[in-house]
A and B are shown apart, each in its own frame.
Chain A
């Protein structure tokens, strides 16, 4: 989202502008960054689902992604690095009627905060987690993270990353999330639809947004322009139904996108209400 003004107030479609703070655009993200595209998709979905500024709590981690609460006029908690999901867990367990939406980078969600990610999904907390996976720590200058590919060049892996990447969606799936999806800013309509679906589902919902960071990951790996990174993301991704027909070798280095997991298990608060009923004999 590189527009320097607010979306048109009379647009015949949902814009989500009622959640945007006055006078904060243009935003801080670099040209070609994917965070703005994701945020716009999200705010449109808020509007379509009838979220109010009052019943919505935006919880953010620390990083470029985590800065986004500063642009919004919903209730918000800007947390500590990696702990957004644990804070959100407390919010949702204490007040079930809030929409709690958690925004994190790949560092936040599955590197420093991996433990909370696993357990929020395992509890099936009724939260929507939106993860910008730009394959590195954007804010601190592009060091490798838990999702950086083996061999990738970053600020702290000049000779290639010795580690292997973690599959965020697979982790959420085995941990017990109800809804898991992946998309990219290149597939913006799908992305918007998947975010809308994730927001409307009970239990733990995850949308992983593979996202360009041309400033760091891109420039370290021969993709200085945002458009080059988008083309690369397009190449790296295949619709999940196609992916399921591919051989294990062909799947290497390719991300399935779309709706990956769709379950309807009771969320933590529903199970806790059963505990309450047993404790009180009702």
Chain B
């Protein structure tokens, strides 16, 4: 029978994407607009022999998915801005300990209740820089329900490949919208599992230099004993404060993202090759940008869209290439300060014509709002 697809909400699609990738451990603390992910997991996990844990707060949620991942499980949590802030220190632990896991941040506006449950894209900088120390991570941003699914599978693949947390920087709009999507059959899209150690267990070093910077990862209970620490550690995982060791560890932990840059950094271009007006957008706002570009094209203006599928590490190459070809670059985003516009300016230089379109009142940015910048 042909698979005609299912009408799914973005949040449900993220949960389904996690299951497709083989995740069987969810721990979280409910918060709108992410709660449907928890709801879905609470229903499905017990049926699949997986675990749904509702923790006492987001600090504990992040801690629990780290602990569970170290037993070999693929693990994830979902939250919104206020909860994401609480996860930051333990997210740092996951980066330091090189623990694969996925964190879905369905962004909304403001602290606590804030501008209650209205959409925003204002956590972009806290996703990148919210921790202390020199820490890199990956963030992907879906613009449709189909991408909520596919980018979640991708997020787990990258988490496993690089031994790192991956953030899905979703927004309330994609999370709550419903679209028809076709869930692929098992095996149709690749699912990657972390590399496991081989050879003499006594010689295993969980944080040793490795090709492309990612050492194989043991699991608690395995004969390959694994010592994981928030403290600066040597290749064996035990505390080591020597400046040389710290320099090497920090360089490797950051350098592995450089080695894998081609696997990580993804963009999509729509009519962008000859674009004189280029919209650089991400998440739900990509849709408005595409509508605006189509309107301009219909009026004879060469307009196109660069969608940042990967938000962090920043897609410098694509922005530089298409942005320097365009006469005008417009960055529409749902925040006050222009968090991504700043990055685009950094790439294109002070002389480039980079215009901001910002929305911070909890309403989606419309094609009309975007066209006003032209």
* Contact pattern, B 8-25, Cβ under 8 Å of A = 1, otherwise 0: 000000000000000001
Cα(A54)–Cα(B69), bound, Å: 17
Q: Are A94's CB and B68's CB within 8 A?
A: yes
Q: Are A95's CB and B238's CB within 8 A?
A: no
Q: How many residues of A contact B (CB 8 A)?
A: 41
List A contacts of B70 (CB < 8 A): 77, 91
How many Å from the CB of A130 to the closest CB on chain B? 17
A14 interface hit (Cβ, 8 Å): no
B227 in complex: contacting residue of A67, A75, A119, A278, CB < 8 Å: A75
Q: Are B220's CB and A75's CB within 8 A?
A: yes
List B contacts of A76 (CB < 8 A): 226-229, 237
B90 in complex: contacting residue of A83, A95, A280, CB < 8 Å: A83
How many Å from the CB of A127 to the closest CB on chain B? 11
Q: Are B63's CB and A86's CB within 8 A?
A: yes
Q: Are B65's CB and A280's CB within 8 A?
A: no
Among B41-72, those with CB < 8 Å from A are: 43, 46-47, 49, 51, 53, 55-57, 59-60, 63-72
Q: Are A89's CB and B67's CB within 8 A?
A: yes
B245 interface hit (Cβ, 8 Å): no
Contact A83 B60, CB 8 Å, known A77-B228, A94-B71: yes
A74 interface hit (Cβ, 8 Å): yes
A182 interface hit (Cβ, 8 Å): no
B112 interface hit (Cβ, 8 Å): no
B267 interface hit (Cβ, 8 Å): no
A249 interface hit (Cβ, 8 Å): no
List A contacts of B231 (CB < 8 A): 78
Q: Are B67's CB and A88's CB within 8 A?
A: yes
Q: Are B67's CB and A91's CB within 8 A?
A: yes
Q: Are A272's CB and B227's CB within 8 A?
A: no
A21 interface hit (Cβ, 8 Å): yes
How many Å from the CB of B13 to the closest CB on chain A? 22
Q: Are B71's CB and A79's CB within 8 A?
A: no
Tally of A-B Cβ pairs under 8 angstroms: 136
Among A46-97, those with CB < 8 Å from B are: 53-55, 57, 59, 62, 67, 69-70, 73-80, 83, 86-95, 97
List A contacts of B73 (CB < 8 A): 94-95
Tell me the nearest residue of chain B to A88, going by C-beta: B67
* Contact pattern, A 99-123, Cβ under 8 Å of B = 1, otherwise 0: 0000000000000000110110000
Q: Are B225's CB and A53's CB within 8 A?
A: yes
How many Å from the CB of B163 to the closest CB on chain A? 15
B89 interface hit (Cβ, 8 Å): yes
How many Å from the CB of B313 to the closest CB on chain A? 25
Q: Are B56's CB and A93's CB within 8 A?
A: no
A276 interface hit (Cβ, 8 Å): yes
A280 in complex: contacting residue of B46, B227, B228, CB < 8 Å: B46
List B contacts of A54 (CB < 8 A): 221-223, 225
Cα(A62)–Cα(B238), bound, Å: 14
Contact A116 B225, CB 8 Å, known A21-B238, A80-B230, A89-B67: no
How many Å from the CB of A238 to the closest CB on chain B? 34
Contact A115 B49, CB 8 Å, known A80-B230, A87-B64: no
Q: Are A116's CB and B67's CB within 8 A?
A: no
B141 interface hit (Cβ, 8 Å): no
How many Å from the CB of A268 to the closest CB on chain B? 9
How many Å from the CB of A53 to the closest CB on chain B? 6
B280 interface hit (Cβ, 8 Å): no
Q: Are B220's CB and A95's CB within 8 A?
A: yes
Q: Which of B27, B53, B71 has the most CB of A within 10 A?
A: B71
List A contacts of B239 (CB < 8 A): 67, 70, 78
Q: Are A116's CB and B56's CB within 8 A?
A: yes
A78 in complex: contacting residue of B25, B47, B75, B229, CB < 8 Å: B229
List B contacts of A115 (CB < 8 A): 56-57, 60
Cα(A88)–Cα(B268), bound, Å: 41
How many Å from the CB of A161 to the closest CB on chain B? 26
B93 interface hit (Cβ, 8 Å): yes
Q: Which of B43, B72, B227 has the most CB of A within 10 A?
A: B227
Contact A75 B56, CB 8 Å, known A90-B66, A94-B71, A280-B46: no
Q: Are A90's CB and B221's CB within 8 A?
A: no
Contact A280 B47, CB 8 Å, known A54-B225, A77-B228, A98-B220: yes
Q: Are B67's CB and A90's CB within 8 A?
A: yes
Q: Are A90's CB and B65's CB within 8 A?
A: yes
Contact A86 B64, CB 8 Å, known A70-B239, A75-B220, A97-B221: yes
List A contacts of B27 (CB < 8 A): 90, 93
Cα(A37)–Cα(B363), bound, Å: 61
A250 interface hit (Cβ, 8 Å): no
List B contacts of A74 (CB < 8 A): 225
Among B187-227, those with CB < 8 Å from A are: 220-223, 225-227
Q: Are A93's CB and B63's CB within 8 A?
A: no
Cα(A141)–Cα(B64), bound, Å: 30
Tell me the nearest residue of chain A to B67, going by C-beta: A90
Cα(A116)–Cα(B220), bound, Å: 22
List A contacts of B53 (CB < 8 A): 89-90, 93
What are 29 A-B residue pairs whose CB atoms fall within 8 Å in the complex? A69-B229, A70-B238, A75-B220, A76-B227, A77-B97, A77-B229, A78-B231, A78-B239, A83-B60, A83-B90, A86-B56, A87-B63, A87-B67, A89-B55, A89-B64, A89-B67, A90-B63, A91-B68, A93-B51, A97-B221, A98-B71, A98-B220, A116-B59, A119-B55, A119-B56, A272-B46, A275-B46, A276-B46, A276-B49
Q: 7 additional contacts, CB 8 Å, given A95-B72, A116-B59, A119-B56?
A: A73-B225, A79-B230, A80-B89, A86-B64, A90-B75, A94-B25, A95-B71
